[in-house]
Amino acid sequence: MIANYGKKIKMKSENQIRAFSVLGNIAIVNFPDGLKSGHHRRTPKDFQEKSLLGAKKKFAQEILKNNKAVRTVLEKSGKFKGRLRKMETRFVAGEKTKEVIYRENNCVFRFNVDTTYFSPRLSNERKEIADAVKPNEEVLVMFAGVAPFSIVIARNSMAKKVYSNEINREANKYAKLNIELNKVKERVELIGGDIKRVVKRLSSHPPPHPSAPSAQGKINARDFNLIPSKFDVIVMPRPQLKDSFLHEAFMLSKKGTRIYYYDFCAVDDIDKIVEKVKREAGLARRNIKILKVKKAGEIAPYKVRVRVDFKVLS
């Protein structure tokens, strides 16, 4: 359950309106500059720290009082970093935990906000893609994290099988737990590791025979011959990285594969993302058809997440 995501309340002590995000049982606050270290230079250091802590705790208590589902308040102390998209938070008030229980799209997810990445803003995206998956299709989700896309697709579509790839070992631990919590163990399989290495492994063996047994659960080295080397649908909710990973997606695609590719750009540069997709297709010697281009959320002033849907024709 997500409660009042992005709700704004007034911090009387700073006379500012601040937004906080709620992930199930945890509220995450990005405090204004006036409540961050180094901004109260007129006071002694010890008094300053005590004053900061008091103001933050007062703000946190307001959140706990007005949001019954919230049991813990954390301070966001750093941005998402690197390919693993880890965030830094500090405990402020409530129950001392960083583990979230979050519900969406008839699914439940458990994860640690510091060691794994999860975006509630992609809830509608997950459902939209799940609705587009056709019966008996085999789906690959790259950059799957704790498996929200994979599980929502499995729970809300008639996909034959969903393969969930993630490089973050901690995220894979939670993904395995989430697969069990949502009772989709027979329909979602984890493929841990770098997608570039996974592609090499998959391309080195023939596709599995239709009667081959499933590798239910987490794929290990001896089970790679049970994974299809080509997929009907590829979902790419990738982080902000220089590498598009479209080369790997094309290697795992066949005639008719639909790819849902996410990227980030300035509001006025969406056409450049589409051109990049076309250019990458040309380099891979693949013929594609753009099916849809949409804004999938604002991530900063004048900067958006973009989703490009396209089909591989040959």
Domain assignments of the chain as residue spans, ordered by start: 8-97, 118-312
Which CATH superfamily is 118-312 part of? Vaccinia Virus protein VP39 (3.40.50.150)
pLDDT in tens, 52-71: 677 888 889 999 999 989 99
Predicted local confidence at residue 11, as pLDDT? 45
Full-model pTM: 0.83
User: How many CB atoms are closer than 10 A to CB 109?
Assistant: 27
Give residue 212's pLDDT.
52
- The two beta strands, 89-94 and 72-76, are antiparallel
Per-residue pLDDT, 54: 76
What pLDDT score does 209 carry?
54
Task: Give dist(CA 119, CA 145) in Å, integer.
Answer: 10
The answer to whether residues 130 and 184 touch, using CB atoms and an 8 Å cutoff, is: no
Tell me the pLDDT tens digit for each residue of 156-215: 999 999 999 999 999 999 999 999 999 999 999 999 999 999 999 888 766 555 555 555
The CATH architecture that domain 8-97 belongs to is 2-Layer Sandwich (3.30)
Q: How many of the other CB atoms lie within 10 Å of CB of 146?
A: 29
What's residue 225's pLDDT? Answer: 73
Parts of the chain with a pLDDT under 70: 1-18, 32-52, 78-85, 205-223
Alpha helices by DSSP H, 194-242? 195-203
Cβ contact 310:280 at 8 Å: no
CA-nearest of 112, 17, 15, 18 to 72 is 112
The reply to whether domains 8-97 and 118-312 share a CATH topology is no
For residue 196, count other CB atoms closer than 10 A to its CB. Answer: 13
C-alpha of 204 from chain center: 29
